[in-house]
Chains A and B, each alone.
Chain A
């Protein structure tokens, strides 16, 4: 036979299902959020590194004039080199499903079966492909709109076309690793072919890209030293190096996004631990407040303090265990939903589902220890309750007077409706409880508003980025074209307005001596350009009279932390090194894009020996604010027109689609934050609803007495709702205030990761308003439901209650 005191535990659990559910949910929702945050934090940081290292990524990448296997063997014997691989990479235009032509990178790799460097994961189909077949990379597949088994049409240098069948789909974690390529999001679609397919595509079979892994792949200095030796060896063989880049084996191309995500998860995780602690404390406080009379009765009939405490400790333990049972599997499951979402978008390879011990540990502590700790004070307070006060109903230790300011308010504004005054009095009567409730609701709301703000801040920034992509069509030619001629020709295309020709090249950013730090993309824009209005962080934009000056992007600060306006950089263009002065810092879409600088067109074209010519052309339509389909339409017309005129166009792309591609990484963060703000909303809402419902439940007796003295159900409902809304509104005001520092913190974490500067920052009313809506709706519902139950009880039941 079960002891009666455990019967009491069971009957409290089962007898008041609504309340038990609220308590369990209030505990569980915090655990759930924490589990997700910690699991994501751990798994994503670990799997990015392990996953990337596992594909044996190249530490040194050289783009060169053609070379053969001899050179590869020589490089292999350079001291510090572990392995080397020569591949042939070529960019060819392929036709998309919509009929556009897009550049696609074809990688011809020897010994594909045993490919030692930059290994790919086969997702579907076969690897390696046979001759005249292609395997494609999954993340960019949607751009060409083709799938497994489809044929893709490739345009050859001669103008002929060939068709290759897609026989496999792979994941390539090294996508975007090469310098100067603009990173993962700007990378072109990738195809993998056998070297014997090259001649069929009118390409030579010689290699033009060298991948090298080094012994100390995690040490950037060591890699740079080896790179220097490799370069010398390559150049000694008469091979010219166009660009070179180094990368450690743990530096996934999208690391900055992972850093941002991990930073956000950490901040939110810490906050939610607090929130959860307060929520649990608050919930158990409310629970025990309802039990005061019962505690008094138990003591009256002979219960000692430890016996009473034991009953509630066991009850709380069971609540905790139930919450844990609910939260553990759910959070593990949902963690991986979020992880897979991220992994797919930022090209990570997850190492499979696993339990994260820290997540479990924190959840267990939060579910079992924190409730015991949180309940300790109320339990101690409870068991100290004076029996005579409880059974007589007179509790001077609890009776708090109406605050003076409410009395004054009452005198001043006689017209204030009575229900409002009573509600005001009720709200402020138990100050301690009110403070605890407010802290909980405030934290929940602030986290929601802050994630929302941060998400909106990034979104707003993405819109700002359009200032770099004002042209409607971005054209890239295979070789520089006379600007005047292109402008004259394009003037005949209907819809075309303003046309600018820009110079473009890749340059080596030189360190001390002949050390190459990295590749820099230089964009030579006319000083009077109307198609770029940069987001300047420091210094100035190009102005007339400028010659060797650069306006550099955020990536430079990561490579050269001490770089200032007025400093000189050494750039090597086509073998000759010159000095350039930094006049401004601008901010683009993040460090991931690599080193990019705007320079005056006249100077760059002169140095390239291409005066009057441009490789990139920017076309503005003759009317503004074209939509994406309109831009794409114009791009197709321009492309077809130029082709018919005998131009070789590599790419004709809608401006908005370039913007979209550039901002894609930020977009992933936006969506990720949106999901997190959803999570915050769930935690906040359940916390809000639970806390308020318990507050009203606690007052069941009071409601009964009010009805006994003649208050109508309507009056009671009004009182309860006004009180709930009042608390909700107060918490909203506080949450709005608390949201500012939290938004700032989150924005900074993201900005530091993405831009290497605390740059992103904005407040949008949306989050504040959304939370206001949630607060209003939930306070009404959460107050009304238990009030309805209370009103339905007969007066006798209520008075006998407890």
Chain B
């Protein structure tokens, strides 16, 4: 049980580490605890899958790592940075350079072309280099096999293609870590397979990926699976899904 949670080599330093992370949502009906004290370490080069039932707190957990929502208690260290100590603007800049975030509903800018969508993070994070950036964005889009479509608007391509643009955009600033929240949730299995394939290639190339899913069939594709239920990490799938 313990070995499952710490399958990575003990010698390496974790790239992501959560200690005693608790999260309460304040609702009119009172506080709702979505995370009850999470301890988790992710090592460079891992492809971690977070699996749990709906409402388990998976998205909340990812939000704690990316810092897009405030935690209630505990500590999050990513790439050596205490995420929740940063002010909003520093956090945004840091996130833009360190994390690529991919969501279920793609979240592309509707009025920008695919190319411009991929270029946007470079602009915001001070990595804009004009022509060179455009070449890089084109290369990223080529890697996700969308080079013929780079001047189209998001509305003109399919959902699977949009998710690939979102991946290319997440890679724009060459961050070491990717966080993906059910990236295949709205895609058919064939298309989903394509996305997973890309992820595997990225892991092979040295990226660290944390991916949330409730698709049990993907279990074997991760280098490690973290099971979640009711705001806690649990030892195995029986507990998580039972």
Identify the A interface with B (CB < 8 A): 1, 3-5, 7-8, 11-12, 15-16, 293-294, 297-307, 386-388, 391-392, 396, 796-797, 799-802
Contact = CB atoms under 8 A, between A and B. Distances in A.
Contacts of A293: 107
B111 A306 contact: no
Interface stretch (B85-93, B141-149, B203-211): B85-93
B101 A802 contact: no
B89 A306 contact: yes
Interface string B109-133: 1111000100111111100101100
B106 interface: yes
Task: Tell me the interface secondary structure of chain A in the complex.
Answer: helix
B192 interface: no
B215 interface: no
Please list the 7 inter-chain residue pairs (A to B) with the smallest Cβ-Cβ separation, ordered nearest first.
A302-B96, A11-B111, A304-B89, A15-B111, A387-B68, A4-B119, A303-B124
A797 B159 CA distance: 11
B173 interface: yes
Interface string B172-198: 110000000000000000000000000
Contacts of B101: 300-301
A8 B109 contact: yes
A310 to B, nearest CB: 11
Given A5-B123, A302-B96, A304-B124, A391 B131 contact: no
A301 B111 contact: no
Contacts of B66: 300
Nearest to B157: A800
Contacts of B123: 3-5
Nearest to B134: A1
A298 B169 CA distance: 11
Given A8-B109, A8-B112, 16 more contacts: A4-B122, A4-B128, A7-B116, A8-B116, A11-B116, A293-B107, A299-B68, A300-B66, A300-B101, A302-B93, A302-B173, A304-B89, A304-B124, A388-B69, A800-B106, A802-B110
A304 B130 contact: no
Contacts of A1: 130-131, 134
B128 A3 contact: yes
A302 B154 CA distance: 20
Contacts of B134: 1
A301 B169 contact: yes
Contacts of A12: 111
B97 interface: yes
B107 A391 contact: yes
18 contacts: A4-B116, A11-B111, A11-B112, A11-B116, A15-B111, A294-B109, A294-B110, A299-B68, A300-B66, A300-B68, A301-B172, A302-B124, A305-B89, A391-B105, A391-B107, A800-B105, A800-B155, A801-B110
B124 A301 contact: yes
B27 interface: yes
Given A388-B69, A391-B103, A298 B120 contact: yes
B125 A392 contact: no
Task: Tell me the interface secondary structure of chain B in the complex.
Answer: helix
B225 to A, nearest CB: 24
B121 A302 contact: yes
B107 A392 contact: no
Given A8-B111, A16-B111, A388-B63, A301 B106 contact: no
Nearest to A388: B69
A769 B154 CA distance: 47
Contact of A302 (B27, B109, B125, B162): B125
A539 to B, nearest CB: 70
B59 A297 contact: no
Nearest to A300: B101
A392 B104 CA distance: 9
Nearest to A393: B105
B112 A4 contact: yes
B58 interface: no
B107 A300 contact: yes
A301 B162 CA distance: 16
Nearest to B129: A1
A568 B106 CA distance: 91
Nearest to B68: A387
Contact of B96 (A8, A301, A800): A301
B95 interface: yes
Residue from the set B93, B103, B112, B162 with the largest chain A CB neighbour count within 10 Å: B112
A304 B93 contact: yes
A766 B27 CA distance: 52
Contacts of B162: 800
A614 B134 CA distance: 99
Contacts of A796: 159
Given A8-B111, A388-B68, A797-B155, A305 B88 contact: yes
Residue from the set B66, B124, B162 with the largest chain A CB neighbour count within 10 Å: B124
B91 to A, nearest CB: 9
Given A8-B111, A11-B111, A303 B96 contact: yes
Contacts of B89: 304-306
A8 B108 CA distance: 12
A380 B96 CA distance: 21
Contact of A4 (B59, B96, B120, B170): B120
Given A302-B95, A302-B96, A392-B59, A307 B111 contact: no
B119 A297 contact: no
A798 to B, nearest CB: 10
Contacts of A297: 107-109
Nearest to A307: B124
Nearest to B170: A301
B29 to A, nearest CB: 12
B112 to A, nearest CB: 6
Given A5-B124, A293-B107, A392-B59, A299 B92 contact: yes
Contact of B69 (A304, A386, A396, A797): A386
A307 B124 CA distance: 7
Contacts of A298: 109, 120, 124
A303 B109 CA distance: 13
A796 B162 CA distance: 12
A309 to B, nearest CB: 11
Contacts of A307: 124
A396 B27 contact: yes
B111 A5 contact: no
A802 B107 CA distance: 7
Nearest to B59: A392
A15 B159 CA distance: 21
A301 B120 contact: yes
Interface string B26-38: 0100000000000
Nearest to B131: A1
Contacts of A294: 109-110
Contacts of B154: 800
Nearest to A802: B110
Contacts of A16: 111
Contacts of A799: 105
Contacts of A302: 92-93, 95-97, 121, 124-125, 173
A7 B114 CA distance: 12
Contacts of A800: 105-106, 108, 110, 154-155, 162
Residue from the set A11, A303, A396, A796 with the largest chain B CB neighbour count within 10 Å: A303
B152 to A, nearest CB: 13
A306 B173 CA distance: 20
Contacts of B124: 5, 298, 301-304, 307
Interface string B145-167: 00000000011000100100000
A388 to B, nearest CB: 4
A304 B92 contact: yes
Nearest to B27: A396
B191 to A, nearest CB: 14
Contacts of A306: 89
A634 to B, nearest CB: 74
Contacts of B159: 796
Contacts of A392: 59
A522 to B, nearest CB: 78
